[in-house]
Amino acid sequence: MPDTTRSDPATARAERAYLARGRYRFRLACLAFALSFILIGARLVTLGFAGTGPSPGGLYDISSTVHRPDILDRDGRLLATDIKGATLYADPQRVIDVDELAEQVSSAFPDVKARELRARLKAGGRFVRIKRELTPKQQAEIHELGLPGLAFIEEYRRVYPSGATASHVVGLVDVDNKGLAGIEKFIDDNPQLTMAGDEAVTLSLDLGVQHVLREELGRAIATYRAKAAAGMVIDVHSGEVVALVSLPDYDPNRREQALDKDRLNRIGFGVYEMGSVFKVFTVAGVLDLGLASLRSSYDASSPIHYASFTIDDFHGKKRRLSVPEVFIYSSNIGAAKMALDMGVDRHRKFLKKLGLLSQIPTELGDSAAPIVPAHWQKLNTMTIAFGHGLSVTPLQLAAASLPLFNGGVAVNPTFLPRSREEGMEAGPRVLKRDTSVAMLKLMRLNVLKGTAKRAEAEGYRVGGKTGTAEKVVGGRYSTSA
């Protein structure tokens, strides 16, 4: 009879294999359980962090807009700064009832249309911005609604304490706090300024001078019933723009105003024929080239006839005029003959050397391009001599004038601080010093005895040159417009 108390070898091996498979399955089950626990835990942690934002009434302590540096005038007065504000948004994946939320929010904010909000929420995604710049009271009202899926996020909003006063220089930003124009755009285009943190950007502007200039131009518009006016104050040695105003301007706190084409910055982007103001360059040209001196004279007794054109003086003296007389009586005939002495090529090269035939680069961007004759001929030279036939921006006119007043050095305008030494060292010499001295004398003489007598101001040595442009109507210069 067989011994049933002893297992044969095959049975023993089978039992060991069964136990081994059991232990393996147990370990696999433990591993699967552990992995499931880890995944569930990680999801809970994720939801926990996410819940601090989209939970009803939650507030992200972060900003979705860029923090910008303050902008100051030369004396530290605030021109632009950031303030924090709350923005209401929704996480569509956490919204329980889209229709209810849309109706409730639209009821709280009539400018938020329920139909449009409903469509945006149903489009999916995790972030739907609803309304910016909420007041604390409005935030409290949303809190009280207790609607799942609504939350707030902190965003920076740009404000301009001086309003429209320096708008064409400071510029403005869009709703996402990104620079659109002016120094604001310059900051975005220069990462070293954007990354400077809380370090402010200081300008060359003087807010006090800016106010005065703006008020005076406003009075001029009212007095002469003008459509627009523009002016600037610039340091002739450093090139610093101390004030720049172009009216009508806009309030950068109301960015929609900037879209009005009539609010163009005419100093940098308006292109005009400058009229008799251009005679300063004509006189400077013949003096600098050695073609005339202050003792020279030109025959202005009769008009110049060229082809079908006639060049005459508005209040002609009908006699020979000295160089100072050509200047202070603003003789078109004398200026045209000076330009003829220079010749077409030398005249064009002289104006080019002063920067009148190219754009002027500044922190506000390049100025508008001048309108230059396609075929510069003898007649062009004669008419450009007294400011007809070449259109430039007022900024180009100012920049080209600097060498006439500072000793002959070309200095590029800037809206950032620059010392007089830095300005004079950076620019090339484009005129002889004697030419600059002579032009200063002529400008002063013009205020004392010439067409600019009304510019005289007690306590100041004022110099200047008047100019009157003519409008082009129907392709011809108008005598009445």
pLDDT for residue 2: 45
What confidence score (pLDDT) does residue 27 get?
Answer: 53
Q: What is the pLDDT of residue 15?
A: 52
Distance (Å, rounded) from C-alpha 462 to C-alpha 314? Answer: 25
| Predicted local confidence at residue 463, as pLDDT | 96
Percent of the chain with pLDDT over 90: 76
Question: What pLDDT does residue 468 have?
Answer: 87
Q: Indicate the length of the chain as a whole number.
A: 481
pLDDT in tens, 369-428: 999 999 999 999 999 999 999 999 999 999 999 999 999 999 999 999 999 999 999 889
d(CA 74, CA 412): 19
- Distances in whole angstroms, Cα of residue 57 to Cα of each of 3, 362, 414: 81, 47, 48
- Hey, how many other C-beta atoms are within 10 angstroms of the C-beta on 212? 14
Q: Is residue 313 part of a domain?
A: yes
Number of domains in the chain: 1
Of 136, 416, 132, 367, nearest in space to 255 by CA: 132
- CB of 221 closer than 8 Å to CB of 395: no
Burial label for 281, CB within 10 Å (0-12, 13-18, 19+), is: buried
DSSP state of 258: G
Spatial CA neighbour of 237 closest among 278, 270, 204: 204
Q: Is residue 342 in some structural domain? A: yes
Q: Are 400 and 354 in contact (CB under 8 A)?
A: yes
Q: Which residues contact 25 (CB under 8 A, 6 or more apart)?
A: none
Report whether 86 contacts 153 (CB < 8 A): yes
Residue 311 belongs to what domain range? 270-477
CATH label of the domain that carries residue 399: 3.40.710.10
Q: What is the DSSP letter of 369?
A: P
Distances in Å between the Cα of 453 and the Cα atoms of 153, 190, 285, 327, 328 are 61, 45, 25, 13, 10
- Interatomic CA distance for residues 43 and 32, integer angstroms: 17
In a domain, 246, yes or no: no
- Domain assignment present for 401: yes
Token representation of residue 130: 């609803």
Instruction: Tell me how far apart the alpha carbons of residues 56 and 34 are, in angstroms, rounded to a whole number.
Output: 34
pLDDT for position 5: 44
Query: What pLDDT sits at residue 13?
Result: 53
Residue 145 has which token pair?
């609604």
What does residue 288 show for φ and ψ, rounded to 5 degrees? -70, -35
Rounded CA gap, 143 and 137, in Å?
A: 10
pLDDT of 474: 74
Residue with tokens 């920076």: 156
CB-facing half-sphere around the CA of 240: CA atoms within 13 A:
18
Q: Report yes or no on 464 lying in a domain.
A: yes
Tokens of 257: 């105003």
| Catalytic residue chosen out of the listed positions 106, 162, 276, 391 | 276
For 29-93, strand residue ranges (E) read: 58-63, 71-72, 78-90
β-pairing, 78-90 with 128-134?
antiparallel
**The pLDDT of residue 66:** 75
pLDDT attached to residue 34: 47
- CA distance linking residue 152 with residue 83, whole number of Å: 16
Q: What is the pLDDT of residue 479?
A: 66
Return d(Cα 417, Cα 201) in angstroms, integer. Answer: 10
Q: Is 276 designated active site?
A: yes
pLDDT of amino acid 1: 44
Point out the residues of the chain with pLDDT beneath 50. 1-7, 17-18, 24, 26, 28-61
pTM over 0.85: no
